[in-house]
Structure 1
């Protein structure tokens, strides 16, 4: 599959009409509609999307009953594409550049960006209002009616507009239909192991949830030299796949006569050095903390909760030396760090291809959602038309 064969709509600098998957309400099937995509404003770029993968976060937001409802909306944030046009003041991108989209940006100038301690950009952090950072307006319309954005990206559209700080230029030798996973899930898991937990050689690890993020954590822990990596999942079909990513022990909570933390402590002489919650279940964070050892055990939470966003746990877990950390995009500074991960993939130092379980043409995007809801896929990559 050639990722560089895409052609551009013939209206540089003007409104582009193209197809997008529009969600009209929570849990309602996507409808492929003709949308108008406005030209990029100052500090923005317009991208022809080549490939975009479906992340669990897309599904969680799609099903959410949050108020006020942000519909109609175009989801999608793990994407690769080609720059179609650039807005005023943009100098780092040019037409034809290959890029990955970023759901959190990097302005490189704010307190957070220059601190060296964080990747939570004050200007281009998580966008929750469904509009562009710059002017709080949308770039999508259907018959004059505005359509909300998602995560500052909205990649389930043949064309999208993002802030130039929410994209990173990548080498044209990277296959766009593969590296789109580094826009979120794969990078998030690797970074949680390397940047946030800083997994050490010979250590023990427990991972709760063996989806794309969890398997990427396992891959990162294996590369760091962890001696034992325990994967926890209720889906028995994950067992063999997990081994390929470095998991040494598999626990299905439905198949044991003890609690998960008891099983993990028994296997590791008192608890693991690091545990990772990759499900989006705040009750599981408590289990992950209990699975860590006294003194220095570290729990990292990566999942986005579907319900019950509050974490409740006994203070004694921390009094005895455990640490709970949150991780957004694995701590990576996206524009600065993602090119390094691209290079590692091209050198076959990290795996991406094995995380892609399904490929769909854009017209079949609802099949990808069905598989994700049913728990029958890791990553579904959706391929946009090449014309």
Structure 2
């Protein structure tokens, strides 16, 4: 990795005193490309992409990352994906969006140091940060019907760690955390319940994507909808999440999987993941839900909205079969937007539900997903269309907005 060598020296600001000191680390193997600073008393200076304000490109800056406090872990990030959720917050549409902030939530790396009370992680562990934590103690964690742990939800929504403070500073200013992960930084600090230890042999530039997009779509089909063998499914939006939904529907045994998108260039890729048919709404004069109802003898068994468009959410529901059809909302709509349909759609048996992180109980599930990938039971490599150095992060966003990428992975 650039900037690292077996004789590397690191200038750091000690948290317990004002002078700067130069520390030479003891080499420790971690994917053969970096060395760990095992010290919980130092502030690390590193590069990060800071969003100073909404609607502006990210700025590569030198930031200071404070040591982990009690029940926190500091991580060296090696790879991170670029997701539409990052762009959503950067656009200013996120009601919880705060600035300045370090975005990013699809990352993978190794543990650099741990705070007091951390027992499940040690320096050198290979990990994936989790924007949906799992404390195992709250009533949400104990309920099998949900994965939405609430232990640190309030502070996470404020862009802070559980003690109501940030570990990031830049140019003398506090910088907010994002989704409890902030993977657009060479080093980040997360709560120990927001972290999964995974197979040390897993390629970090691939399994980072299991931190959001792939897991979200795949789980929406398997966990939230519980797609049944022989089902007919419609997937609206054929980006990374939509392709992961298709993959989940195929694994579940769906017979017909209809991809819906206005970009026909995406259809061939969707076929590789298991789509059997494709519909471009632009090719039809009638509403897409009517097209799908006619195609499927009354409607699909399951539909999935992977875009974040409230009009498409309605179409996805109304494309479902009377009596049993179920529609799952995955896409995140802009602040203040509302969904609507005629109550008769629900009275006559259709079900409307949503999902976050595919319904996976994160800490226990992500390591298993990594193992499925390592055993070639789960596609991951196929989602990566571009790999760029971290400094080209804005190019990664441009590729996503232009529809030219499925997932861009940034490497440090």
Taking structure 1 as the reference length, the TM-score comes to 0.96
Does residue 38 of the first structure (1) align with residue 74 of the second (2)?
Answer: no
- The answer as to whether partners of 1:6 and 1:50 remain within 8 angstroms in 2 is no
Does residue 113 of the first structure (1) align with residue 144 of the second (2)?
Answer: no
2:151 to 123, 144, 167: 123
Task: Determine the C-alpha separation between the residues in 2 that align with 1:346 and 1:7.
Answer: 23
Task: Determine the C-alpha separation between the residues in 1 that align with 2:242 and 2:153.
Answer: 23
Deviation at 1:68, TM superposition (A): 8.1
Mean Cα deviation higher: 79-88 or 64-73: 64-73
- The answer as to whether partners of 1:104 and 1:121 remain within 8 angstroms in 2 is yes
Q: CA-to-partner distance for each residue in 1:48-79, whole Å, 9 max, x for gaps? A: 00100011100000011557861111100000
Does residue 12 of the first structure (1) align with residue 39 of the second (2)?
Answer: yes
Over aligned residue pairs, what C-alpha RMSD do you find? 1.6
Mean Cα deviation higher: 8-17 or 277-286: 8-17
Mapping of residues 277-316 of structure 1, within 5 Å:
277-306=305-334, 308-316=336-344
Mean Cα deviation higher: 294-303 or 253-262: 253-262
- The answer as to whether partners of 2:36 and 2:124 remain within 8 angstroms in 1 is no
| Bigger relative CO (Cα 8 Å, ≥ 6 apart) | 1
Task: Determine the C-alpha separation between the residues in 2 that align with 1:295 and 1:318.
Answer: 9
Mapping of residues 147-186 of structure 1, within 5 Å:
147-186=175-214
Task: Determine the C-alpha separation between the residues in 1 that align with 2:356 and 2:312.
Answer: 18
Instruction: Give the number of the structure whose alpha-carbon radius of gyration is greater.
Output: 2
Task: Determine the C-alpha separation between the residues in 2 that align with 1:115 and 1:54.
Answer: 31
Task: Determine the C-alpha separation between the residues in 1 that align with 2:395 and 2:344.
Answer: 46
Mean Cα deviation higher: 141-150 or 48-57: 141-150
Task: Determine the C-alpha separation between the residues in 2 that align with 1:59 and 1:106.
Answer: 25
1:141 to 169, 172, 178: 169
Deviation at 1:378, TM superposition (A): 1.0
Taking structure 2 as the reference length, the TM-score comes to 0.90
- The answer as to whether partners of 1:105 and 1:165 remain within 8 angstroms in 2 is yes
Mapping of residues 128-277 of structure 1, within 5 Å:
128-132=157-161, 134-277=162-305
Count of aligned positions:
383
